[in-house]
Amino acid sequence: MSHTSHPNSLVYLIGAGPGAPGLITVRGKECLGLADVVIYDYLANDDLLRFARPDAELIYAGKVGGLHNREQWQINALLVEKALAGNVVARLKGGDSFVFGRGGEECEALVDAGIPFEIVPGVTAGIGATAYAGIPLTHRGVTTSVAFVTGHEGHDKEVSQIDWEGLSLGSGTVVFYMGIKNLPQITKNLMAHGRPAETPVALIRWGTRPEQEVLTGTLADIAEQARRTGFRAPAITVVGEVVRLRDKLRWFDNRPLFGRSILVTRAADQAGEFGAMLGALGARAVECPTIAIVPPESWDDLDSSIARLDRFHWIVFTSVNAVRFFFERLTAAGRDSRALGNCRVCAVGPKTAASLAPFGIRPDLIPDDYKGEGVVEVFRSENITGKRILFPKGDRARDVIPQGLAELGAEVEAPVAYRNVTPDALPPGVIAELEERRIDCATFTSSSTVDNLAAILGENRLLHLLEGVTIAAIGPITARSCRELGLEVHIEPREYTLAAMTGALADHFTRRG
C-alpha cells in the first residue's frame, strides 16, 4: 500500500434508491449531509442533493465537461484523489451500488489506496420499480425465486455467461437490468430455452418516479410492442407469472393525478404543504415561487417594540412568518421567550400556533375564524380597554386587526416584521418546463400569486407560456384576477382550502382520463 491517507479521508458509497427521493435510506441521507464532496450519477435523483451541505462540492460523474461519459477508471481516480485530499466523499449511485452499480470496483480502488469507506445499501431498481408497478417479486404459490440479470451482455458474445437454461426452465421471476435494447434477443433466448411464449412480461421505465411508464405483454409480443411504442431505457424487464398480479395490486401509477405536472405558485416556504398533498395523489409538484418573504426595510420599529416588550399585555401572531421574524429579532436582542412573561399570546390558525411550540409557548387565544375579523371578534370577550397590544405584521396585512382592536379600546402597535415581495425571476427550470409544454396545470392560491407571475413574466409571456395549461384558482377573487389577465379558469373548488383545491384537481383530471 503506497499511499497514506489523510486522517479525514473517508468515502461513503451510498445507494440513492430507484428515483423517488424518499427511498434513500436514513443512513444514506445522514452520510450525504456529512460529505465535503458529493459525486453523483445520472440515475441518482438530483433532488437528493439538497441533503448535501450547502458548501459541499457537487460533481456529476456522468459527463466530463458535458461531453463524453467518464470511464470507470476515471471515476475511481476521482474518488481516490478527493478522499486523499482529506475530504469526506459521498459517492451517490442509483439503486444499490453493489447491484450492477460497479460499486465493487470503486471499493477495490479505495482498498488499494488505503482509504476507509462505508457502504450504505440502497433500494435497487429491481425491488423499487417492481414495488411501484404493483408486481411482487415472489408470491406464495406462484414463484419461489427471483434472479437479477444483466440484459446488457454484448450480442457478439459467442458463449453467453448467462445461464439461459437455468433462467428459463424454472418458474422463477427474472429481472433484467439494462435490457431494453436487447429485448428481442432476451425474449428469444428465454423461449428457446423453454419458457412458454405466453409468460407475462412487464417493462418498467423510470420506476418510482412521477415519469414511471409500464408496458406489459408476453415473451412472444413484448419486444415488438416496445419497438412499436418506442419504449426506451432506463427500464427493467420483469419476466414471470407474478407480472399478472399488477392488475390487482397496481397502486402508484393509477392515482388520480399520476403523471400530471402541477405548477405550485405559492411562496417558497408554503409550497411544501400543498406540494405534499398533490404528491400524495400522484402528481409531480413543480415549485414556482411568486412571493418571497423578506425582512423589512429596517428593523427599527420591530426592535423598538421588542425593547419595550414588558409593557405589552397581548401579542398577536397571524402567520408563521411573523413568529419567525419576531423571534429572530428577540434572539438578536439577546433575549428569549421569557421576555414574553407578562404578555398573553394570540395565534391565528393552527399552523401559527404550532410554530410557537418550539419556543415553549402555548397560545392563550386561538380564534376559530382565521381571518382578521375573527381575531377582533374573539377579543370582544376579553376586556382589552386600555390594554397595549403588539401585532408584528406583514407589510401587506389589512388594517382590520389594528382598527378593530383600537375600536375595542386597546392601544395597538403594529410594526412590520416582514415583507412580501415579488421575486425578479422564476427558477430557470420552471421556464424551461413551461416552454417545453411539460406542465399540465397551474394553480393559483391567491390573487397575488397570479398577479405576481404576470409581473415577473410580463402579461404576454404569461399568456403564451400558459397556453393550453389547465388553470386552477382557489376562490372567486383569485379566479377574477386570473380572468382579468386574460386567463380562462378551468378549476375552482367549492371551498377555499388547499384540500378542496387538491380534490377539485383530482376530479378534473380523473374525468378527463
- Which are the catalytic amino acids? 41, 63, 178
CA atoms within 13 A on the CB side of 302: 26
End-to-end Cα, the chain, rounded Å = 63
Q: How far is the CB of 69 from ligand SAH (least distance, A)?
A: 13
CB-nearer residue toward ligand SAH: 242 or 343:
242
**What pairs with residue 468 in β-bridges?**
none
- The yes or no reply on residue 121 touching ligand SAH (CB under 6 A) is no
Dig out the grid coordinates for 42 from the structure. 445520472
Which residues, at least 6 apart from 435, have a Cβ–Cβ distance to it below 8 Å?
Answer: 465
Phi, psi at residue 54, to the nearest 5°? -60, -30
Among 12, 100, 312, 509, binds ligand SAH (CB under 6 A): 100
CB-nearer residue toward ligand SAH: 127 or 430:
127
Q: How far is the CB of 414 from ligand SAH (least distance, A)?
A: 52
Q: From the centroid of its chain, how far is CA 118?
A: 27
Question: Taking contact as CB under 6 A, which single stretch among the options 90-98, 309-317, 394-402, 497-505 is the one that binds ligand SAH?
Answer: 90-98
- The yes or no reply on residue 292 touching ligand SAH (CB under 6 A) is no
Q: How many residues bind ligand SAH (CB under 6 A)?
A: 24
Among 23, 92, 162, 178, binds ligand SAH (CB under 6 A): 178
- The yes or no reply on residue 498 touching ligand SAH (CB under 6 A) is no
CB-nearer residue toward ligand SAH: 204 or 441:
204
Q: Is the dihedral of CA 80, 85, 89, 92 positive or negative?
A: negative
Residue 225, classified by CB atoms within 10 Å of its CB into exposed (0-12), middle (13-18) or buried (19+), is: middle
Residue indicated by cell numbers 407469472: 241
Q: How far is the CB of 165 from ligand SAH (least distance, A)?
A: 23
Among the listed residues 35, 28, 83, 25, the one whose alpha carbon sits nearest the alpha carbon of residue 57 = 35
**Cα-based angle 152, 215, 508 (whole degrees, multiple of 5):** 140
Dig out the grid coordinates for 76 from the structure. 475511481
Among the listed residues 292, 297, 267, 268, the one whose alpha carbon sits nearest the alpha carbon of residue 416 = 297
CB-nearer residue toward ligand SAH: 240 or 289:
240
CB-nearer residue toward ligand SAH: 89 or 204:
204
Task: Determine the Cα–Cα distance for residues 222 and 228; give it in Å rounded to an integer.
Answer: 10
Q: How far is the CB of 209 from ligand SAH (least distance, A)?
A: 6
84 within 8 A of 6, measured Cβ to Cβ: yes
Q: How far is the CB of 283 from ligand SAH (least distance, A)?
A: 18
Q: How far is the CB of 397 from ligand SAH (least distance, A)?
A: 46
Local structure of residue 50 (DSSP, 8 states): G
Binding mask 24-43 for ligand SAH (x = CB under 6 A): -------------------x
Q: Tell me which residues in 206-225 interact with ligand SAH (CB under 6 A).
A: 206-208
Dig out the grid coordinates for 137 from the structure. 417479486
How many CB atoms are located within 10 Å of the residue 267 CB? Answer: 20
Among 21, 134, 234, 475, binds ligand SAH (CB under 6 A): 234
Among the listed residues 447, 316, 292, the one whose alpha carbon sits nearest the alpha carbon of residue 370 = 316
194 within 8 A of 181, measured Cβ to Cβ: no
Three-state SS sequence of 126-193? HHHHHHHHCCCCCECCCECCEEEEECCCCCCCCCCCCCHHHHHHCCCEEEEECCCCCHHHHHHHHHHC
Among 36, 96, 433, 492, binds ligand SAH (CB under 6 A): 96
Among 13, 204, 487, 498, binds ligand SAH (CB under 6 A): 204
Q: Tell me which residues in 40-69 interact with ligand SAH (CB under 6 A).
A: 43
CB-nearer residue toward ligand SAH: 30 or 213:
213
Question: Taking contact as CB under 6 A, which single stretch among the options 188-196, 204-212, 323-331, 469-477 is the one that binds ligand SAH?
Answer: 204-212
Among 125, 291, 346, 439, binds ligand SAH (CB under 6 A): 125
- The yes or no reply on residue 174 touching ligand SAH (CB under 6 A) is no
Task: Determine the Cα–Cα distance for residues 177 and 278; give it in Å rounded to an integer.
Answer: 31
Question: Taking contact as CB under 6 A, which single stretch among the options 227-235, 280-288, 332-340, 466-474 is the one that binds ligand SAH?
Answer: 227-235
Binding stretches for ligand SAH (CB under 6 A)? 18-19, 43, 93-96, 99-101, 124-125, 129, 177-178, 204-208, 233-236
